[in-house]
Structure 1
């Protein structure tokens, strides 16, 4: 009898361990890919095919002393564009932005990368710059400038057009512009219910989802989820994110919108929370190994990539890590 109980207990332990392992696997795992050639933060990220592009942002002055600005700033705005070929596992330099900027709003559409706005200072001195990058030609071309100077705009492509939402001039704005890459014209659409910047914006199905962000600074992070219906030209509220965050990497992965990392007063987040638009609900997935903010997330194949970013709040430090997240289908 005692032997039977011991065997049963052992079997139960195995089943519990297996279940825990399956649950852990379902929640996803993080690993690291090849390091970036340059420390970066407040950069922007987009993918074209199997190549990930890290655009602009801050870099330490040390490796590039000639890039110091007239004030002798420790961190400088780099025009640097670096590309990671996922298949080859290799980084390379590409044509730089026309000038160094941080907090540029970027999105891929039709095999090209569109870049709007940005700052020349730390969350200040926004610009009207608009450019498009052609990977085949490895060249940037100027687009009509933004109607107003903005940085930290959230940008996403939907139905052949680019939506530019939120951002910051001196304060957070609720602006919603639609850019047509064929006519090269901007039109206005329904503004955000609450203006904010450092926000995520993605297309899922036939709608846009604006995720979290902040009002003016990281002392006023939000958990808002706003859903835009282009047919009705109207925003509605989704289930709020469990945490209040800004400066996250946001991407659609495995039919969920993942919001990863971010910053707050006093630190950064490791949170990895996924929103399912089909059920209007959130799930917590495996957290980042280390807090990050000031970068973007992209999906290539069956993996999500989070390159560079800052491990502390603000712009004082950069990293060269490439975090890779995978979850079973």
Structure 2
């Protein structure tokens, strides 16, 4: 009995030490490497569950643009990965949010009809599911309303509601669209809800943008309009308590406009990282880290990414922003790597940006 108590105490102490060591090594405005993803990924989504687990859902797992149904789960305390129950369908650019400790997967892009020359052809799916961590199971939900199916939307959560802004319905080698659509899913009723006409569209089409809800305001930051190089630095805002007033555009523009970026909120500040469409980089990827303080509406330049990437999502826990995987080069851009010409380069790299609070 005494021996088992000692073993149990030692296990608790080890977990405490892991957390303490990790915390002390996370200095403000620095990057810290974590255990790599089990396999390279990009064009996935990333969400945090109860500040204990980070889920990486769907995406593309190779430089041949292979869409996956893989879900991998990262345990924050132990810095280890495990594989969860597969997503019910293969999806890239998925839209996902966490409400009440459960993941809501609300559409995304799937493989379209194959082409003779192997070109990319991703089209929208409106399939929706809920993931229940306690049973490691997926439950089917009401599909996205016809005509609103899309991937790469900006997600915001307020109470029981999940809001989706912008996104894209098709992604091909030579064409991709950029939507203004804004929709909402009620996680209590399991139904999609209409927004007032003034709130039902953002001011301009955006995809591969970032954003979330802070307080009562839904923010959409950066992104792009159609092609990879058409990057934007705008910030759109919607007061969810006064949706009939519609969207407004902030006077604070990104210092370096970017699409394909990632980010998340800590306190009253939104932190943004990386992106693609950089004409001044051989890889076509941005390394910028920029912060937008919603209280002052000002942007600040911070420590650049140690490993610049695009096509990933970020999840904030405490004073850290976790960024798993992502692409090391702009998709479709020929880049010579280790003697080979690559047109995409998914990474398993996993790091965290440390924020001063």
TM-score (norm 1): 0.85
Correspondence 1:176-325 to 2 at 5 A: 176-189=182-195, 190-233=200-243, 234-238=246-250, 239-264=252-277, 267-314=284-331, 316-325=344-353
Rounded to whole Å, the distance in 1 between the matches of 2:325 and 2:104 is 20
Structure 1 residue 184: Cα displacement:
1.6
Rounded to whole Å, the distance in 1 between the matches of 2:293 and 2:27 is 15
Q: Which moved more, 1:297-306 or 1:269-278?
A: 297-306
SS in 2 for 1:324: strand
Alignment check: 8 A CA contact 2:233 2:258 kept: yes
Rounded to whole Å, the distance in 1 between the matches of 2:347 and 2:221 is 24
Of 115, 136, 139, which residue of structure 2 is paired with 1:138? 136
Change in CA separation of 1:244 and 1:223 when aligned onto 2, cut-off 3 Å: same
Rounded to whole Å, the distance in 1 between the matches of 2:275 and 2:158 is 25
Rounded to whole Å, the distance in 2 between the matches of 1:284 and 1:254 is 17
Change in CA separation of 1:230 and 1:328 when aligned onto 2, cut-off 3 Å: closer
Say whether 1:51 aligns with 2:53. Answer: yes
Q: Whose Rg is larger?
A: 1
Say whether 1:116 aligns with 2:106. Answer: yes
Say whether 1:82 aligns with 2:88. Answer: no
Correspondence 1:9-20 to 2 at 5 A: none
**TM-superposition CA deviations, 1:26-60 (whole Å, max 9, x none):** 86000100011111111110000210000000112
Rounded to whole Å, the distance in 2 between the matches of 1:130 and 1:104 is 10
Aligned residues: 293
SS in 1 for 2:229: helix
Rounded to whole Å, the distance in 2 between the matches of 1:244 and 1:31 is 25
Match of 1:149 in 2: 149
**TM-superposition CA deviations, 1:270-311 (whole Å, max 9, x none):** 111000010111111111012111111111232110000001
Match of 1:9 in 2: none
Say whether 1:164 aligns with 2:164. Answer: yes
Q: Unpaired runs of 5+ in structure 1?
A: 1-24, 62-73
Q: Unpaired runs of 5+ in structure 2?
A: 1-25, 112-119, 171-176, 333-343
Q: Which moved more, 1:33-42 or 1:306-315?
A: 306-315
Alignment check: 8 A CA contact 2:123 2:169 kept: yes
Structure 1 residue 142: Cα displacement:
1.1
Alignment check: 8 A CA contact 2:233 2:257 kept: yes
Alignment check: 8 A CA contact 1:200 1:249 kept: yes
Structure 1 residue 166: Cα displacement:
0.5
